[in-house]
């Protein structure tokens, strides 16, 4: 139905795509897998005719017999929304915050003159019911919905006109695992029901392995492998495919056993926020953290897992001594943590954040960025000692000392995360809080960072508190895992035990929802076909 | 290297011309404007008097040079006052978002915004006596809330970024974070706003001088030139047209420069241009 032939594309002389050919049939789910910068989004945008200015393009993208690349803007507008719908990664920004969700779903219908206003609203209601939002009114605004609900609204808008091809660009990357599983299920159901084709773009091989009929693996603007899903997963003809495969199941070597000596202890920690205002009265306080207690042993890696809104971010800020606790105690190395604690105590603990792009002041050079925690020391090194310490920190994270003179934008996401780790190590802390530190990274980069963290733990005798929404990420690097739900720890235990025999229903649902690559390809083959 | 926006280049050239001649007037003008030569009054443009003379025989070129110096100095200091007071207030409000301090600062801003600025400026100069200093204060006060708002608006999204959290885990105070991390990242917003406020300041100064509440004789000012020439607008229109044109071109130049700076400094537009 849709066929891309020998698509070659460059932007201002930089080659982006090189001889990309693929074919998607009616009713088929096609997975396009690759890491960031591999050109998978550009492939989709060229089908939609939404390429940036200054693009040179060769080849063809045929919808039936029409070559989309030769169409003019006016004709392309007839096709977008009508024949091809698209949903994006970030449901927070893909919706207009000042329009109701009903209007946004109806918009597609009105633009294409497919219905009058009343009819469009009726269809919008119907589509929203279809994506599982029958309990949500049409006049709600995007900010009143959760991330998963917003993505459902995007899907409702994309399928409003029953397009024949739906393009989903990383539709679940910004979502929690259980929500991700629901959205993927929904997409699968819609594709079967409407007999449409789905082009599913993702960096996560595990997401497509369960869903796609066929997959193509992209690297550096080229499709390096393409075929039936089961066959690609079994054969892994191209080394890049097997590298992707190995990376997503990567387990760093860790040796250092934990000592039984608590470095961080939480005792019945509560953090409540004032409830929402209802007229002049405030509602009941929100118990973001509701009585959390645990110990983190010296040299241990402890995972803290929970989905958005479970209170783990609030807890993290309290542990870092940025926000006060309502009641309870947080003890680090025998001394209590609070926003007013002395700087020397702060220096014993550092943090690495999720977003490799927002973690650094873009106007600061790397040496200044890395040396910022020196502010915590009474006598920070100066001159050559300071330069040496910065070089040592950069070398510890496997970057070169010369990188100290560059600016953050000159580095890739994985390199930036190394810089963030170097900054966290400069004061030689005992405890490193890793707040979704690898969640934003591609699988192969993630594997490298996990290896680095394992090495650094041995090298510097670090203890890790690994906070994540994704159980599979913490599996590789932690000794023990805490599962958090609605402000409470609902289950804790050894990582391996937790994965093989989860006790709490919430843990079980988290594990069940996580997309997984088949463990044994030969065995899985039959199931997939 | 990106090509600079056309508006920025044109605006900068015009602004540089006016600032240059104003500075030049400190050391040299074609004629001395403190000496009145009635015999040379109302001369047309000539080799001696490039743009003619006014009703007191003063050289128009020299008058315009000194007049724009007054306008530029008053507007510049008034904008400086707005930045020096307004930006720290805005940064403090953003750093203490939602607190009582934030409320006090921002509601205080609203209070100043609620007054018609030029009328209050006239009131201030009328009460405390007309002088260049009072004109600066009167114009400067109304620049404070503008810069406080721009600074707060620019700072709020930056406070949500991870590098601010990292700085807080490095034990830095909110004031230090505002100075080290926030201010450099909103500097472009402030620069653009400053050029716009600068042109508004020139207009305000001209208006105050026009009603004779600005700089006092013997200091020349473009607004005063307009006021003095209005009785002769039919017999000698060039006396009014020349200072009027000077203001229009100066303000136009500053606005063009402001627009151009916004284009050049806005990272989104910069990215779009590659």
b/e sequence B57-91, b meaning 16+ C-beta within 10 Å? bbbbbbbbbbbbbbbbbbbbbbbbbbbebbbbbbb
Query: CA-to-CA distance for A360 and A350, rounded, in angstroms?
Result: 15
Query: CA-to-CA distance for A42 and A201, rounded, in angstroms?
Result: 11
Instruction: Measure B168 CA to nearest chain A CA, in Å.
Output: 7
Instruction: Measure B232 CA to nearest chain A CA, in Å.
Output: 56
Residue of B nearest to A426 (CA): B170
Query: CA-to-CA distance for A344 and A335, rounded, in angstroms?
Result: 11
Peptide bond into A279 cis (omega under 30): no
Nearest to A206 by CA among A514, A520, A517: A517
B3 pLDDT above the threshold of 80: no
Query: CA-to-CA distance for B241 and A117, rounded, in angstroms?
Result: 57
Please indicate whether, in this complex, the C-beta atoms of A361 and B163 are within 8 angstroms of each other.
Answer: yes
Query: CA-to-CA distance for A500 and A477, rounded, in angstroms?
Result: 16
Residue of A12, A353, A376 lying closest to B170 (CB–CB): A376
Interface mutation target, options B2, B97, B163, B187, chain A, most CBs of A under 10 Å: B163
ipTM of the complex in this document: 0.76
B269 pLDDT above the threshold of 80: no
**H, E, C per residue of A409-436:** HHCCHHHHHHHHHHHHHCCCCCEEEEEC
Residues whose CB falls within 8 Å of the CB of residue A501, separated by 6 or more in sequence, listed in order: none
Higher pLDDT, A369 or B274: A369
> What is the pLDDT, as a whole number, of residue B181?
93
Look over chain B and give the mean of its residue pLDDT values, rounded to a whole number: 86
Q: Which stretches of chain A score pLDDT less than 50? A: 520-529
- Beta strands A165-169 and A84-87: pairing type? parallel
Tens digits of per-residue pLDDT, A296-355?
999 899 999 988 888 888 999 999 999 899 999 999 998 999 998 898 899 999 999 988
Torsion sign across C-alpha atoms A475, A477, A478, A483: negative
| Chain B environment of A346 (Cβ under 8 Å) | 169-171
B235 phi and psi angles, rounded to 5 deg:
-75, -40
b/e sequence B207-232, b meaning 16+ C-beta within 10 Å? bbbbebbbbeeebbbbbbbbbbbeee
**H, E, C per residue of A13-74:** CEEEEEEEEEEECCCCEEEEECCCCCCHHHHHHHHHCCCCCCEEEEEEEEECCEEHHHCCHH
> What is the pLDDT, as a whole number, of residue B209?
86
- Beta strands A463-468 and A301-305: pairing type? parallel
Tens digits of per-residue pLDDT, B180-199?
999 999 998 999 899 999 99
Please indicate whether, in this complex, the C-beta atoms of A375 and B184 are within 8 angstroms of each other.
Answer: no
Tens digits of per-residue pLDDT, B201-256?
999 888 888 888 877 777 788 888 888 888 888 888 888 888 899 999 999 999 99
Task: Write down the pTM of the prediction.
Answer: 0.81
Q: What is the DSSP string of B176-210?
A: HHIIIIIHHHHHHHHHHHHHHHHHHHHHHHHHHHH
| Chain B environment of A423 (Cβ under 8 Å) | 166
B264 pLDDT above the threshold of 70: yes
Query: CA-to-CA distance for B150 and A485, rounded, in angstroms?
Result: 40
Please indicate whether, in this complex, the C-beta atoms of A358 and B163 are within 8 angstroms of each other.
Answer: yes
Query: CA-to-CA distance for A133 and A125, rounded, in angstroms?
Result: 9
**Coil, helix or strand for A309?**
coil
Query: CA-to-CA distance for B237 and B71, rounded, in angstroms?
Result: 22
Query: CA-to-CA distance for B96 and B106, rounded, in angstroms?
Result: 12
> What is the pLDDT, as a whole number, of residue A198?
94
> What is the pLDDT, as a whole number, of residue A524?
40
Residue of A nearest to B184 (CA): A363
| Chain B environment of A420 (Cβ under 8 Å) | 166
């Amino acid at each position: 139905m849709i066929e891309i032939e020998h698509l070659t594309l460059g932007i201002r002389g930089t080659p982006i795509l090189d001889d990309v050919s693929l074919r998607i049939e009616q009713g088929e789910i096609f997975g396009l897998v690759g890491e960031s910068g591999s050109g998978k989004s550009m492939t989709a945008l060229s089908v939609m005719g939404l390429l940036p200015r200054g693009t040179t393009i060769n080849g063809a993208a045929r919808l039936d017999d029409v070559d989309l690349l030769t169409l003019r803007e006016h004709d392309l507008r007839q096709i977008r929304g009508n024949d091809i719908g698209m949903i994006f990664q970030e449901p927070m920004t893909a919706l207009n915050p000042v329009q109701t969700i009903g209007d946004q779903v109806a918009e597609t219908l009105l633009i294409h003159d497919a219905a009058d206003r009343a009819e469009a609203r009726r269809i919008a209601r119907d589509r929203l019911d279809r994506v599982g939002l029958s309990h949500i009114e049409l006049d709600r605004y995007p900010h009143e919905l959760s991330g998963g609900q917003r993505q459902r609204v995007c899907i409702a808008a994309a399928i409003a006109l029953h397009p024949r091809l739906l393009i989903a660009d990383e539709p679940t990357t910004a979502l929690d695992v259980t929500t991700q599983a629901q959205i993927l299920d929904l997409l699968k159901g819609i594709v079967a029901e409407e007999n449409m084709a789905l082009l599913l773009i993702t960096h996560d091989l595990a997401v497509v392995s369960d869903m796609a009929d066929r997959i193509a693996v992209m690297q550096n603007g080229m499709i390096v492998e393409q075929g039936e899903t089961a066959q690609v997963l079994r054969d892994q003809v191209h080394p890049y495919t097997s590298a992707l495969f190995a990376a997503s199941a990567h387990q760093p070597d860790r040796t250092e056993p934990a000592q039984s000596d608590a470095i961080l202890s939480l005792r019945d920690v509560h953090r409540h926020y004032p409830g929402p205002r209802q007229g002049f009265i405030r509602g009941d306080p929100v118990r973001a953290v509701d009585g959390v207690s645990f110990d983190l042993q010296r040299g241990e890696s402890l995972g803290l897992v929970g989905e958005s809104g479970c209170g783990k971010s609030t807890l993290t800020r309290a542990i870092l001594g940025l926000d006060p606790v309502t009641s309870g105690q947080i003890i680090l190395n025998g001394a209590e943590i609070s926003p007013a604690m002395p700087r020397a105590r702060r220096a014993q603990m550092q943090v690495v954040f999720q977003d490799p792009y927002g973690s650094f002041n873009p106007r600061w050079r790397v040496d200044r960025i890395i040396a910022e925690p020196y502010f915590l020391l009474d006598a920070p090194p100066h001159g050559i000692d300071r330069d040496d310490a910065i070089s040592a920190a950069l070398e510890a994270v496997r970057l070169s000392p010369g990188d100290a003179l560059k600016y953050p934008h000159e580095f890739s996401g994985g390199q930036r995360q190394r810089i963030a780790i170097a900054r966290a190590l400069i004061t030689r802390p005992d405890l490193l809080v890793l707040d979704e530190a690898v969640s934003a990274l591609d699988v192969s980069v993630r594997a490298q960072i996990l290896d680095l963290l394992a090495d650094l733990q041995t090298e510097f005798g670090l203890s890790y508190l690994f906070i994540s929404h994704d159980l599979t990420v913490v599996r590789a690097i932690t000794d023990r895992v805490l599962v958090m739900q609605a402000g409470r720890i609902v289950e804790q235990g050894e990582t391996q035990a937790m994965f093989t025999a989860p006790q709490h229903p919430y843990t079980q649902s988290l594990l069940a929802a996580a997309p997984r690559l088949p463990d044994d390809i030969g065995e899985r083959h039959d199931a997939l076909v | 290297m990106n090509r600079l926006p056309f508006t920025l280049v044109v605006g900068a050239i015009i602004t540089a011309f006016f600032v240059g001649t104003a500075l030049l007037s400190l050391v040299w003008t074609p004629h001395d404007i403190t000496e009145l030569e009635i015999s040379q009054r109302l001369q047309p443009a000539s080799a001696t008097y490039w743009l003619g003379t006014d009703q007191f025989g003063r050289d128009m070129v020299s008058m315009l040079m000194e007049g724009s110096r007054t306008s530029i100095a008053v507007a510049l200091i008034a904008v400086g006052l707005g930045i020096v007071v307004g930006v720290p207030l805005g940064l403090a409000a953003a750093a203490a978002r939602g607190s009582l301090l934030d409320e006090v600062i921002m509601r205080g801003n609203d209070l100043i915004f609620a007054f018609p600025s030029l009328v209050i400026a006239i009131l201030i100069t009328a009460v405390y006596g007309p002088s260049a200093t009072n004109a600066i204060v009167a114009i400067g006060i109304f620049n404070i809330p503008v810069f406080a708002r721009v600074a707060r608006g620019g700072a709020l999204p930056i406070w949500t970024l991870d590098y601010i959290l990292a700085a807080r885990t490095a034990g830095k105070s909110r004031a230090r974070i505002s100075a080290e991390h926030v201010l450099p990242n909103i500097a472009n917003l402030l620069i653009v706003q400053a050029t716009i406020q600068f042109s508004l300041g020139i207009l305000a100064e001209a208006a105050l001088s026009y009603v004779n509440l600005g700089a006092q004789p013997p200091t020349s000012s473009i607004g005063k030139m307009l006021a003095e020439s209005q009785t002769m607008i039919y017999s000698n229109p060039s006396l009014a047209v020349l200072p009027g044109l000077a203001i229009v071109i100066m303000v136009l130049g500053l606005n063009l420069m402001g627009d151009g700076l916004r284009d050049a400094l806005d990272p989104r537009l910069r990215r779009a241009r590659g």
